Chain A
């Protein structure tokens, strides 16, 4: 079976910025690829090329079996795109947005209305469907946007940072919706800045930075490479810091670090370390105000993979690349 998405040697330059410097991406049919990268890595540029919105400078891309440059219309018939910034029409009602897209996809007025109602229901927007999109919260806009990209029942779906800006409950809803899509056989390429999200959804993860692939692995493989999970403990009393540090040193795979005052963190191999830590804290009578086990942050992933943290972009996101690294 051929790949649903196949990109080879993709490059794209904007003026003096090399957004993509030759990346390869492969996603098998019905699989989920997570593209992980910091701000300015080239995620959006890659998605826009795959979704036929942008032409690559070099490289070849096929999506659903069609070349995106020579057969863009065949590709557009088979894809759904949810861009990084919601592409809903603010002056239209939620339902009008969906009906318009449905009709542009060739549905009759009544079919488009039925499909819109179905999707509004699925995304819990039925009550808000009659309101103008400009009155929607950020999360509602996102969901409406996701719904719009699914109207044509696409076989390949691109999601550019689909949960950025959602509260945890809504994020879980979007995750669940993505899992449902995958169960129905849809191929998904999603970009994210969170290893946790890629881990929760993807079969494989490609890490990109400065327009280059710096790692490609299964979530398990990647976690192994970057040192699994991180255990963090904050003692209630600062005088216990030394004892906590000693305790974590014995369960961790590396020396403990202090990401914040009176917070001790250490990479651990598995969840067993958590149980052991809880038991020993109890035995030694140390009270804690915070105890958590989490996946490494993007910064930590980058540190493990490249030995440096990603360049910090300015607040506007307008970073001039090239000077970095």
Chain B
């Protein structure tokens, strides 16, 4: 029942996306711009050649893209809530969480586009997949699961904040230290000790390592980690993210008028 309702509402989210194609701009243009900046501007300096850096950084760029994509859901929901449609939903005999679950589910379309564009553009400028096809599929699925879990953080912020501008600012404050304080763009070994401590526990580091293992292989992962271990780590952080932020988001949604 709740699954059916959520899917009906996810369809609403997707229809709205298709009707407002500018919503696809960030998921299609942004990953390309990020890839160009990192690979061609910083790449040579960080890794010697931009080609080597591409192999190393593309998995990180995917993670960073997904983080910013996941964070936009709060902005969208915040302005959507001001629209009377949510009053209509609240007066219907459906689960309270269905409209939020629908929005999170509908956003899978955006995540898929973001991942697809980054991989395709990466491949076009020379990124080589060095793992079997099922590894690549696992990587994509893992990224989507991670994105859906991370979405609940943003949904929570979206429910709390007064304006969608505030949601944007707050999300940026969260995403920025998480992505740059990780091994997504630079190996942790080059950083000062205190920062290495943070990088080692930062979930983004583990997500990036899992992606590197699944798309390229052990060779570029943080020394001493394994693909299986990192994937498990990612799934565990998904459980924690949903376990903490789903109830918080629901509580904020209930009390939001």
Contacts and interface: CB of A to CB of B under 8 A. Distances in A.
A and B interact? yes
Interface string A213-236: 000000000000000000000000
A91 B84 contact: no
B248 to A, nearest CB: 20
A89 B85 contact: yes
Nearest to A148: B88
A3 B180 CA distance: 63
B87 A53 contact: yes
Interface string B73-101: 00000000001111111111110001000
A86 interface: yes
Interface string B1-41: 00001001101100110011000000000000000000000
Contact of A104 (B15, B16, B87, B94): B94
Interface residues of B, number: 23
A105 B93 contact: yes
A198 B51 CA distance: 76
A76 B92 contact: yes
B124 interface: no
B91 A81 contact: yes
A51 B16 CA distance: 27
A58 interface: no
A163 interface: no
A92 B93 contact: no
Contacts of B257: 53-54
Interface string A18-54: 0000000000000000000000000000000001111
Given A53-B87, A92-B16, A103 B93 contact: no
Contacts of B98: 104
A153 to B, nearest CB: 13
B90 A104 contact: no
A163 B219 CA distance: 70
B91 A89 contact: no
Interface string A83-95: 1011111111000
Interface of A: 51-54, 73, 76-77, 79-81, 83, 85-92, 96, 100-101, 103-105, 132, 148-149
27 contacts: A52-B91, A53-B90, A53-B91, A53-B257, A54-B257, A73-B93, A77-B93, A79-B91, A80-B91, A83-B84, A87-B83, A87-B85, A89-B12, A91-B19, A92-B12, A92-B16, A100-B11, A100-B12, A101-B88, A104-B8, A104-B9, A104-B92, A104-B94, A105-B92, A105-B93, A132-B19, A149-B91
